[in-house]
Amino acid sequence: MTGIPDIELSSGCRIPVLGMGTASGPIAPPEVVASVVIDAIKLGYRHLDTASFYQSEGPVGRAISEAVRRGLITSRSELHVTSKLWCTDAHHDLVLPALHKTLKTLGLGYLDLYLIHMPGRLKHGEITFACKQEDLLPFDIRTTWEAMEKCQRLGLVKFICVSNFSSKKLSELLSHGTISPAVNQVEMRPYWQQKELRDFCAKNGIHVSAYSPLGGKGTISLRWAFEQGVSFVPKSFNKGRMKENMEICRRSVASHKERYSQVSMWFHLMGNTKPWLNYGTEIIS
């Protein structure tokens, strides 16, 4: 028992509602990331969110094998591992090789969830934070998703998913695809509630997972996300805060009531303001 409840997706798969985000800026040294992931597993985290873009796949993979070696978990299957396809690999012929590279870097035989990181395509090449205008290419949802479907059929990923997809992009994908995305991971927090997108996803059996869920408001934002029925992947590389973030699943609503009632009206009133980090889904429509 880890104290973190699971949530059931319409695909039938269950994922822990709270995951551990592993993106850091500036990028943390690999030994730091590996060490905090081991701490997280020790505390009870069983859902790890990584991506080729974050350069955290290597340290996450080392932490997983170390956790098995130390007996913190009996096998990798106790974990739920998510990774993502970056835009430089969002080309029909490059999706499978990118997944193989991700699996090799993680040292894993399969991923639980594999997400198209952004509905965008860049010229194939090195993954860097800054992208040049001339590297931007038209994104072809149909052929990219076809290649993602192949990854799932080959058993290399349990479920294929997307991230930063608007309802418009999801509609386009659903009209072409034979497998529906299990999850849409989007920026979401009390001040950026994604109500319309969440309604659209609910109607289409797509689970919403919230990234950057804290928004500078600490655990109260996580409790809000918990009560919306979404999963969420806060990042903390601080053991105390990792623990605090887990607590929100344990405490009853009543113990949050006082603080919650003070802020809930503000959450309601400000739910449709702009996302703070400015890489929100609505921007990429």
* Active-site residue set: 54
In which element (H, E) is residue 82 found?
strand 80-85
Nearer to ligand NAP, 27 or 154 (CB): 27
Is 218 near ligand NAP (CB under 6 A)? Answer: yes
Nearer to ligand NAP, 58 or 74 (CB): 58
Is 235 near ligand NAP (CB under 6 A)? Answer: yes
Is 280 near ligand NAP (CB under 6 A)? Answer: no
Q: How many residues bind ligand NAP (CB under 6 A)?
A: 23
Find all residues with CB under 8 Å of 131, minimum gap 6, and list them.
87, 122
Is 88 near ligand NAP (CB under 6 A)? Answer: no
Q: How far is the CB of 126 from ligand NAP (least distance, A)?
A: 19
Is 245 near ligand NAP (CB under 6 A)? Answer: yes
Distance CA 66, CA 164 (A): 32
Label each residue of 154-206 as H, E or C. Answer: CCCEEEEEEECCCHHHHHHHHHHCCCCCCEEEEECECCECCHHHHHHHHHCCC
Q: How far is the CB of 136 from ligand NAP (least distance, A)?
A: 17
Task: Choose among 149, 156, 146, 120: nearest CA to 135.
Answer: 120
Take residue 31 and report the two structure tokens written for it.
Answer: 């030994």
Q: How far is the CB of 84 from ligand NAP (least distance, A)?
A: 6
Distance CA 113, CA 161 (A): 7
Stretch that binds ligand NAP, among 66-74, 149-157, 169-177, 208-216 (CB under 6 A): 208-216
Q: How far is CA 51 from the centre of its chain?
A: 9
Among 181, 213, 275, 280, binds ligand NAP (CB under 6 A): 213
Is 49 near ligand NAP (CB under 6 A)? Answer: yes
The answer to whether the CB of 160 falls within 8 A of the CB of 148 is yes
Is 21 near ligand NAP (CB under 6 A)? Answer: yes
Distances 175 to 168, 179, 260 between C-alpha atoms, Å:
11, 10, 40
Q: How far is the CB of 238 from ligand NAP (least distance, A)?
A: 4
Nearer to ligand NAP, 190 or 213 (CB): 213
Task: Choose among 225, 255, 221, 257: nearest CA to 241.
Answer: 221
Residues 108-127 interacting with ligand NAP (rule: CB under 6 A): 117
Distance CA 194, CA 281 (A): 9
Q: Is residue 124 a known part of a binding site?
A: no
Is 163 near ligand NAP (CB under 6 A)? Answer: yes
The residue to which tokens 């991971």 are assigned: 185
Q: How far is the CB of 242 from ligand NAP (least distance, A)?
A: 7
- Point out which residues bind ligand NAP (CB under 6 A): 21-23, 49, 117, 163-164, 185, 211-214, 218-219, 233-238, 241, 244-245
Please enumerate, by residue number, every residue annotated as part of a binding site for substrate: 117
